[in-house]
Amino acid sequence: MIKLLVWSFFIAVFLVSPFFGAVNLTLHDIFNSNSMSANIFYSLRLPRELFALLSGAILALSGLLFQTLFRNALMTPYTLGISSGAVLGAGVAIKLGVGVIVFGVSGVTVFGFAGALLSVFLLIYLAQFLKSSQHESILLLGIALSLFYTSALMILFYLGSSIQNDILIRFTMGSLSIVGWKSPVLLSVVTLFLFIIMYFYRYELQLLSISNESAQLKGVDTKKVTLILLVVSSLAIGVLVSISGPIGFVGLVVPHMVAKLYPSTVEKRLLKTALFGGLFLVFCDTISRVLQTQSELPIGIITALIGGPFFIYLIIHRTAK
Amino acid sequence: MMKIDKLSCSFVGKEILHDISLEIAEHITILGANGSGKSTLAKAICGLVEYEGNIEIDTHNVKYLTLKARAKLLTYIPAKLEVYDPYITVFEFVLLGRFVYKKSFFDYANRDKIIAKETLNLLGLAHLKEHSLSSLSSGEAQLVMIAQAIAQQSKIIIFDEPTANLDPKNTKIIAQRIKALKEYHKVVLITHDLHLARFINSPIAFIKEKKLLYFKEGFFKEENLQKLYDVTFDSMVVKYD
């Protein structure tokens, strides 16, 4: 019953979402192809909704992936500093004023991706030196790296001109306001790629969700599989963050919500997690557009406002167990 | 037939096993004090820890086998079932024993599901099929791990202190299971439990000061036990028959 309610609510929001925002639209408006409203609908609202859907899917899938690979409920690309690495990379591109590079992919995207990838490799490299194989230590390492990247970004901030800083600040808050179809199309390729790879390794993930040792004993090359999955998910996160900036809490919260709704093994939750994450972010984005504020609220604020209390609930629930 | 040749093994810079050689025709029970390196030896055989020297099984050097080939040859059952995913069911867990026979990307074949189901029936665990692993008692968990090992159909099954967390009643159930497995598998048993070791009745390898003492028989003589364990034994024997 609760599942039906949640999904119907999300789908309803998904259907009406493009009609609401700074300018509210009607069905009549969008069929009048020459009107300003139709233009807003087709080149702003629809691509943005698709972009939000895909972003949510990437964040939720990556969260699920990290939580499974490291067998820890608090692991996400965000808590492990991968997002911050991507932000730093994108920040460097903004500071250097890197323009278009190849195939129309912007310098910010390339640098963001490189930042994400470098931070994953740095994390894996440093994790080798950990005396205990406890994943809590990796989490601490990730948090330390994350703080380090944020401080490096602050230094960029102090070195930048006021125009660059304006872009940087806006960027670090996270935003889904995009124009046109280029970003959603790029992101749909990335999302599909991430999903296919995770689906391909779904039973390896199921084994890894038990323990690294048990996966190895069943014949899984755990090092190879972990590396492939981490790199692919960092690619997705890097591309996403370089366009939208960091969006927290979706990766943390959504996999747990889906697991509560569908208590089943990880391989059965892949598609549901992707869909739920996507629709959840569309919902958050709709709120950010509908709230009457001076200017549009950054999406990160909404996800954190909803995700924060849930995060606290999760920590208390975990300690109570 | 397993042949261990000049095996040395270190853990966090400390040498645990030194220059061990052993030929095992069939089954073996490995005994030794806490921290003597019993588990390390088992993990070396499974390829979970690095070592110097060679381990051969049926003329295959374990070091050079692919992970899948190794999984078909041997399986390892830890003392305690530790699972991060709280939702995995008993049936799904046993089915994972068939992973090595599964084609990449595809789902488990019907044959694999039938084998998993029949293994559960065999061990009298059918009623737990849909239960989650986290809801099992220690005794049930040990049986479920045995079921997974049987479904994996590997030649050698290594038990790492299977009865360490069990009461005498459950110990008896597991002991009988392990003994029955000797008919179809080669059983490597690591334990502290002398009663269990005696019941299983395999040749004994005793690890002392990084070295290995081999007893084809006669291990359980009182003067021998006194020498090895430095304690006095009385005549109490727990019977698992």
pLDDT tens, position by position, A23-35 = 888 888 788 777 8
Query: Phi, psi (5° rounding) for residue B190?
Result: -110, 125
* Architecture of the domain defined by A75-246: Orthogonal Bundle (1.10)
Contact A265 B87 (CB under 8 A): yes
Length of chain B: 241
Residues of A with CB below 8 A from B86's CB? 263
> Quick one: average pLDDT of B130-134?
91
CA distance A282 to chain B (A): 28
Chain A residue with minimum CA distance to B149: A218
Interface test with A, best of B99, B102, B158, B188 (most A CBs within 10 A): B99
- The 10s digit of each residue's pLDDT in A116-173 is 889 988 988 888 787 655 677 888 889 999 999 999 999 988 888 888 888 888 778 8
The CATH 1.10.3470.10 portion of chain A extends over: 75-246
A209 CB within 8 Å of a chain B CB:
yes
What DSSP string runs through B50-92?
--EEEEEETTEEGGGS-HHHHHHHEEEE-SS---S-TT-BHHH
What pLDDT shows up at residue A320?
Answer: 43
A213/B48 CB distance under 8 A: yes
Which of B87, B88, B153, B160 is the best residue to mutate to test the A interface, defined by the most A CB atoms within 10 Å of its own CB?
B87
Find residues 104-143 of chain A whose CB sits inside 8 Å of chain B.
131
| Cβ-based burial of A261 (10 A; exposed 0-12, middle 13-18, buried ≥19) | middle
State yes or no: pLDDT of A16 exceeds 50: yes
Task: Assign B228 to helix, strand or coil.
Answer: helix
Give the residue carrying structure tokens 């490597």.
B188
In angstroms, the CA A69 to CA A86 distance is 21
Q: Considering just the CA atoms, what is the radius of gyration of chain B in Å?
A: 18
**pTM recorded for the entire structure:** 0.90
A220 touches chain B (CB under 8 A): yes
Q: How many CA atoms lie within 13 A of B216 on its CB side?
A: 4
Distance from the Cα of A180 to chain B's closest Cα (Å) equals 36
Residues A75-129: tens digit of each pLDDT: 888 889 988 998 899 889 888 877 666 666 778 888 888 998 899 889 888 887 8
Q: Which helix (DSSP H) or strand (DSSP E) does residue B4 occupy?
A: strand B2-11
Show residues of chain B in contact with A203, CB under 8 Å: 96, 99, 102, 108
pLDDT for residue A8 = 94
Separation of alpha carbons B81 and B99, rounded Å: 18
* A9 backbone dihedrals φ, ψ, rounded to 5°: -60, -50
Quick one: A266 exposed, middle or buried, by C-beta within 10 A (0-12, 13-18, 19+)?
buried
For B44, nearest residue in chain A (alpha carbons): A217
Are B71 and A218 within 8 A, CB to CB?
A: yes
Determine how many CB atoms are found less than 10 A away from the CB of residue A178: 18
Q: How far apart are CA B24 and CA A205, in angstroms?
A: 35
| Cα–Cα distance, A171 to A242 (Å, whole number) | 9
**Cβ distance of A210 and B12 shorter than 8 Å:** no
Which of A131, A211, A216 comes nearest B82 by C-beta?
Answer: A211
Cβ contact, residue pair B68, A219, below 8 Å: yes
Chain A's closest residue to B68, CA to CA, is A219
CA atoms within 13 A on the CB side of A295: 4
With beta carbons less than 8 A apart as the criterion, state whether B25 and B1 touch: yes
Residues with Cβ within 8 Å of A75's Cβ and at least 6 positions away in sequence, in order, are A63, A66, A67, A69, A135, A138, A139, A142
Q: Which of A292-301, B84-93, B154-163, B220-229 has the lowest mean pLDDT?
A: A292-301
The tokens for B70 are 């190794």
Predicted confidence band of residue B13 (pLDDT cuts 50, 70, 90): confident
More confidently predicted of A291 and A202: A202
pLDDT class of B17 with cuts at 50, 70, 90? confident
A64 contact B CB<8A:
no
pLDDT of B75 strictly over 60: yes
What are φ and ψ of residue A306, in 5° steps? -80, -40
How far apart are the CA of A219 and the nearest CA of chain B, in angstroms? 4
Decide if A213 and B78 are in contact by the 8 Å CB cutoff.
yes
Q: Which residues of B touch A263 (CB under 8 A)?
A: 86-87, 132
> Which residues on A lie below 8 Å from B78 (Cβ)?
213
Q: Looking at beta carbons, which residues of chain A come within 8 Å of B71?
A: 217-219
Pairing of strands B74-77, B156-160: parallel
* Interchain contact, B99 vs A219, CB within 8 Å: yes
For residue A226, CA distances in Å to A68, A121, A158, A236, A290 come to: 10, 12, 38, 15, 41
Task: Give the mutation candidate from A72, A217, A222 for the B interface (greatest B CB count, under 10 A).
Answer: A217
Distant-in-sequence, close-in-space partners of A269: CB < 8 Å, separation ≥ 6 = A64, A255, A258, A259, A262
Q: CA A192, A193, A199 angle in degrees (round to 5)?
A: 85
B87 to A71: CB separation less than 8 angstroms, yes or no: no
Q: Is A265's Cβ below 8 Å from some Cβ in B? A: yes
CA–CA separation, A184 and A40 (whole Å): 16
Quote the pLDDT of residue A132: 59
> Is residue A181 a contact partner of residue A189, using CB atoms and an 8 Å limit?
no
Of A218, A221, A266, the CB nearest to B100: A218
Asked if A266 is an interface residue toward chain B (Cβ–Cβ < 8 A), one would say yes
State in Å, rounded, how far the first CA of chain B is from the last one: 28
Domain B2-78+135-140+152-229 matching CATH 2.40.128.30: the answer reads no
Q: C-alpha distances in angstroms, A261 versus A213, A276, B38, B142?
A: 29, 11, 43, 29
Q: How far is CA A98 from CA A110, A178, A243, in A?
A: 10, 19, 14
**Rounded to an integer, what distance in angstroms lies between the CA atom of residue A165 and that of residue A173?**
12
